[in-house]
């Protein structure tokens, strides 16, 4: 049985609790004992930091899944609020209704206007229901398409934050064409003549994720995951046991390191020690640095060049055996 | 293997003569059920006789993730099906008109799209765009091929980008949904064709039965995810009986590519 987030983080939480207890004790103690207690606190803190560093430098695929899904992890709006100013959310898809799993609108990035879109998760039950667990319906993708078109029309670079378990699989989403909405959103991204950067910040969940991730530069946070199928779904198909998620996570190679190795993302963005959730501000700072750097390079290119290079980048994705010498040559490039 | 003289319709359970069944393109004469076709049968049933010229035969799947049992499954599918992967692609003719065609085969690992299927679909669309010929793709797939992980997901983006190339070059692209057309294939190149046709009764949907069950799709209508239901919802253009498919495609392709033909 694969560990849950709580089971996995328990040792760390216990250490934190002990540190807090010692601090309280020190506060209440006479001065003579206090100094000694504070020394012990410092020692515990040093050990905790060591532990975090070691633990997070050795995250296995399943631990990455837990970290990527953790509800303390910063979500799209946390990044937006740290990185941009004047974010003005626009909600209409002009077709059917408002979707709260994908948000978007214009904002300033270091004083220059950009268009931002992203999946939004919720932290408590009410929020989660409101956000539909970041599972967008067709109207979410159609709103994204509108915002992309607007970005293209007014020359605003597009930045998308990817964080979804999957697109919404309900009957109503099927009836309104969730498949077409995802495909059309990808198609729109390939048409854009403005620079585009996508960043996978948590869960890059299959079609729901790639729908807004066909950018000129695709970045991925160190502990984020990106997968064709949720590990539990994969385990259910492979072994008819969804609780073998940990084995499936290993088999699926859903980590940032593998995505980079296969040439499917452009850069891995480092997270603060102990993961983005330990310091959301620092995490946003690191993400911003990478986004700004990529945009700066992309802005130097013409619209047609951006289109062509984006096409060529995705065109190369895939691994297969070819008996054609031309293909074989391209492989060893 | 000796062909049986009789078989039973899996839908209405009536007994059919094999010879007649094949002549009817595997459509049951009693209930009209469209039984699945192998890619080769589809090609024969659709395009001008002897016109299909297969390309991309030299590419085959690797096991880049070293995924459990993938190599064995591939080998078994290749041995059973005789094809290298789930899509056959090449040039074909419809009433003498050259088209770039791809046909998916559900019997090969559920028609799943990995690197090879994605590459073949992309090449089919690129060839159409470059040669200014219409593209026709017969879809039949359970979705992306899980065993190639994120590489499979990226085939959705890659094939979609290739559709964009056809659009830019003013080349018509028609997709035909056959039973079943699902998930990653439906949510990429399949759904953004200029015209979408479907065979009667074909299963067409984003989420598989397992996912839908988890999502509590209990109040789904009885015809949920059938071609007829999808048509009612405006997601496809026409349901076409298999014996009419060739004529319908020929007719549509000719009308949409009049400009290409006129300018040579
Ligand atoms: Zn029948």
A182, A236, A264: residue with CB nearest B154: A264
The answer to whether the CB of A138 falls within 8 A of the CB of A176 is: yes
Question: What is residue B262's three-state secondary structure?
Answer: helix
Alpha-carbon torsion (A78, A79, A85, A88), positive or negative? negative
Over the Cα atoms of chain A, what is R_g? 22
Residue B5 Cα to ligand 1 middle (Å) = 16
Helix (H, G, I), strand (E, B) or coil at B253: helix
The complex's ipTM works out to 0.95
Does residue B94 sit in the same domain as residue B214?
Answer: yes
Buried b (16+ CB within 10 A) or exposed e, A294-325: bbeebeeeeeeebbeebbebbbebbbbbbeee
Q: Could you tell me the residue ranges of all domains in chain A?
A: 5-58, 67-331
pLDDT in tens, A107-128: 999 999 999 999 999 999 999 9
Set of chain B residues whose Cβ sits within 8 Å of the Cβ of A187: 160-161, 163-164, 192
d(CA B9, ligand 1 centre) in Å = 5
Residues B204-227 as b or e (16 or more Cβ within 10 Å = b): bbbbbeebbeebebeebeeebbbb
Q: What is the pLDDT of residue A333?
A: 38
Q: What does DSSP say about strands B15-17 and B6-8: parallel, antiparallel, or unpaired?
A: antiparallel
Residue range A71-104, pLDDT digits in tens: 999 999 999 999 999 999 999 999 999 999 999 9
A6 has a pLDDT exceeding 50 = yes
For chain A, give the mean pLDDT. 93
Same domain, B132 and B254: yes
Lowest-pLDDT choice from A41-45, B114-118, B136-140, B195-199: A41-45
pLDDT of the residue at A35: 86
Q: Percent of chain B, pLDDT > 90?
A: 88
Structure tokens at A99: 């979707």
Mean pLDDT of A27-39: 85
**B6, two tokens:** 């009789």
Distance CA A50, CA A325 (A): 51
B41 and B138 inside one domain? yes
Q: Which of A68, A317, A322 to mutate to test the interface with B (most CBs of B within 10 A)?
A: A317
Distance separating alpha carbons of residues A306 and A312, to the nearest angstrom: 10
Q: Do B58 and A324 touch (CB under 8 A)?
A: yes
Of residues B156, B165, B217, nearest to A170 (C-beta): B217
Q: Residues, chain A, total?
A: 333
Output the pLDDT for position B264.
Answer: 52
Q: Stretch A142-153: mean pLDDT, rounded?
A: 98
Q: How far apart are CA A132 and CA A328, in angstroms?
A: 45
| CB-based contact B165 A179, cutoff 8 Å | no
Residues B106 and B234 in one domain: yes
- Residues A276, A45: Cα–Cα separation, whole Å: 19
C-alpha distances out from residue B149 to A174, A211, A319, B204, Å:
24, 17, 11, 23
What is the CATH classification number for the domain harbouring B156? 3.90.226.10
Q: Say if residue B187 is in the same domain as residue B59.
A: yes
Q: With an 8 Å Cβ cutoff, are B154 and A175 in contact? A: no
> Contact, A229 vs A206, CB < 8 A?
yes
Q: Name the phi and psi angles at A221, rounded to 5.
A: -65, 150
Do B186 and B252 belong to one domain?
A: yes
User: Whole-prediction pTM value?
Assistant: 0.94
B49 and B141 fall within a common domain: yes
pLDDT value, residue A186: 98
Number of independent structural domains in chain B: 2
Instruction: Summarize the confidence of residues B86-92 as an average pLDDT.
Output: 97
Binned at pLDDT 50, 70 and 90, residue A47 comes out as confident
Rounded to an integer, the average pLDDT of A237-243 is 83
Q: Are residues B20 and B87 in the same domain?
A: no
Instruction: Return the pLDDT at A55.
Output: 87
**Contact at CB, A317 and B189, closer than 8 angstroms:** no
Secondary structure (DSSP) of B2-66: PPPSEEE-TTT--EEEHHHHHHTTTB-TTT--B----HHHHHHHHSPTT--EEE-TTEEE--TT-
Confidence at B194, pLDDT banded by 50, 70, 90:
very high
Q: Residue A300: pLDDT band by 50, 70, 90 thresholds?
A: very high
Residue A330 has pLDDT above 60, yes or no: no
3-state secondary structure of B224: coil
Same domain, B24 and B119: no
**In this model, does residue A4 exceed pLDDT 90?**
no
Q: What is the pLDDT of residue B210?
A: 59
Range B209-233 average pLDDT: 79
Q: Compare all CA atoms of chain A with the CA of B221 and give the residue at the minimum distance.
A: A171
Query: Is A310 in contact with A216 (CB distance < 8 Å)?
Result: yes
pLDDT (mean) for B160-179: 97
Q: Do residue B217 and residue A319 have CB atoms under 8 angstroms apart? A: no
- Binary contact (B157, A186; C-beta < 8 A): yes
In angstroms, the CA A199 to CA A74 distance is 13
Give the residue-averaged pLDDT of B206-211: 75
Full 3-state SS string of A214-225: CCCEEEEECCCE
Together in a domain, B29 and B120: no
Spatial distance between the Cα atoms of B154 and B76, rounded to a whole number of angstroms: 25
Average pLDDT of every residue of chain B: 93
pLDDT of residue B215: 59
For residue B3, what are the domain limits?
Answer: 1-35
Distance between CA atoms of B15 and B18, rounded to whole angstroms? Answer: 9
List A118's β-bridge partners, or say none: A103, A161
Q: Which residue has the higher pLDDT, A269 or A6?
A: A269
Confidence of residue A32 (pLDDT cuts 50, 70, 90): confident
When pLDDT is cut at 50, 70 and 90, the band that residue A308 belongs to is very high
Query: Of all helices (H) and strands (E), which one includes residue B69?
Result: none
| pLDDT tens column, A190-213 | 999 999 999 999 999 999 999 999
HEC readout, B100-168: EEEEECCCCHHHCECHHHHHHHHHHHHHHHHHCCCEEEEEEECCECHHHHHHHHHHHHHHHHHHHHHHH
Q: Which of A209, A318, A321, A322 to mutate to test the interface with B (most CBs of B within 10 A)?
A: A318
A71 CA to centre of ligand 1 in angstroms? 52
pLDDT class of B1 with cuts at 50, 70, 90: very low
CATH of A67-331, one of 3.20.20.70, 3.30.70.20, 3.40.50.300, 3.90.226.10: 3.90.226.10
The Cα of B63 is separated from the nearest Cα of chain A by a number of Å equal to: 8
Is residue B134 domain-shared with residue B247, that is, in the same domain? Answer: yes
Are both B66 and B17 inside the same structural domain? no
């Amino acid at each position: 049985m694969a560990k849950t987030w709580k089971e996995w983080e328990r040792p760390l939480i216990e250490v934190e609790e002990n540190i807090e207890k010692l601090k309280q004790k020190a506060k209440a103690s006479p001065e003579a004992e206090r100094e000694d207690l504070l020394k012990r606190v410092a020692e515990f803190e040093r050990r905790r930091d060591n532990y975090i560093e070691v633990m997070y430098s050795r995250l296995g695929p399943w631990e990455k899944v837990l970290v990527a899904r953790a509800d303390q992890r910063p979500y799209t709006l946390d990044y937006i609020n740290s990185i941009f100013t004047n974010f003005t959310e626009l909600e209409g898809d002009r077709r059917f209704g408002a979707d709260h799993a994908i948000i978007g609108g214009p904002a300033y990035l270091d004083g220059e206007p950009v268009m931002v879109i992203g999946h939004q998760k919720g932290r408590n039950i009410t929020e989660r229901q409101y956000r539909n667990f970041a599972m967008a319906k067709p109207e979410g993708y159609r709103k994204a398409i509108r915002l992309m078109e607007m970005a293209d029309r007014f020359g605003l670079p597009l930045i998308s934050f990817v964080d979804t378990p999957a697109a919404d699989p309900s009957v109503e989403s099927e009836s309104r064409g969730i498949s077409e909405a995802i495909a059309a959103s990808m198609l729109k991204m390939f048409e854009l003549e403005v620079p585009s950067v996508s960043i996978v910040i948590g869960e890059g969940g299959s079609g729901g994720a790639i729908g807004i991730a066909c950018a000129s530069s695709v970045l991925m946070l160190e502990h984020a995951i990106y997968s064709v199928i949720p590990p539990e779904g994969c385990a259910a198909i492979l072994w008819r046991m969804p609780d073998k998620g940990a084995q499936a996570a290993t088999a699926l190679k859903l980590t940032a390191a593998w995505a980079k190795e296969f040439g499917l993302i452009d850069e891995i963005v480092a997270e603060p020690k102990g993961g983005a959730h330990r310091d959301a501000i620092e995490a946003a700072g690191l993400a911003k640095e990478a986004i700004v750097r990529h945009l700066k390079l992309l802005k130097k290119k013409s619209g047609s060049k951006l289109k062509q290079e984006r096409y060529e980048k995705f065109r190369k994705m895939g691994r297969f055996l070819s008996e054609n010498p031309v293909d074989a040559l391209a492989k060893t490039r | 293997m000796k062909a049986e003289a009789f078989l039973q319709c899996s839908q209405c359970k009536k007994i059919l003569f094999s010879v007649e069944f094949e002549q009817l393109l595997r459509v049951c004469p009693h209930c009209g059920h469209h039984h699945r076709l192998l890619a080769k049968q589809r090609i024969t049933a659709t395009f001008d006789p002897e016109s299909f010229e297969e390309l991309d035969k030299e590419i085959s799947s690797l096991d880049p993730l070293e995924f459990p049992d993938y190599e064995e499954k591939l080998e078994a599918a290749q041995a059973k099906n005789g094809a290298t992967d789930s899509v056959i692609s090449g040039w074909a003719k419809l009433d003498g008109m050259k088209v770039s065609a791809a046909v998916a085969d559900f019997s090969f690992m559920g028609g799943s799209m990995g690197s090879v299927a994605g590459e073949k679909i992309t090449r089919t669309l690129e060839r159409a765009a470059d040669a200014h010929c219409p593209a026709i793709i017969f879809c039949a797939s359970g979705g992306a091929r899980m065993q190639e992980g994120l590489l499979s997901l990226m085939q959705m983006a890659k094939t979609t980008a290739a559709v964009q190339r056809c659009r830019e070059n003013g080349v018509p692209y028609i997709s035909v949904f056959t039973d079943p057309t699902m998930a990653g294939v439906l949510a990429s190149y399949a759904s953004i064709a200029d015209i979408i046709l479907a065979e009667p009764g074909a299963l067409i949907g984003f989420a598989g039965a397992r996912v839908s069950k988890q999502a509590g799709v209990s109040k789904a209508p009885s015809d949920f995810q059938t071609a007829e239901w999808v048509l009612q919802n405006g997601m496809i253009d026409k349901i076409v009986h298999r014996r009419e498919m060739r004529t319908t495609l020929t007719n549509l392709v000719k009308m949409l590519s009049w400009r290409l033909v006129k300018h040579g």
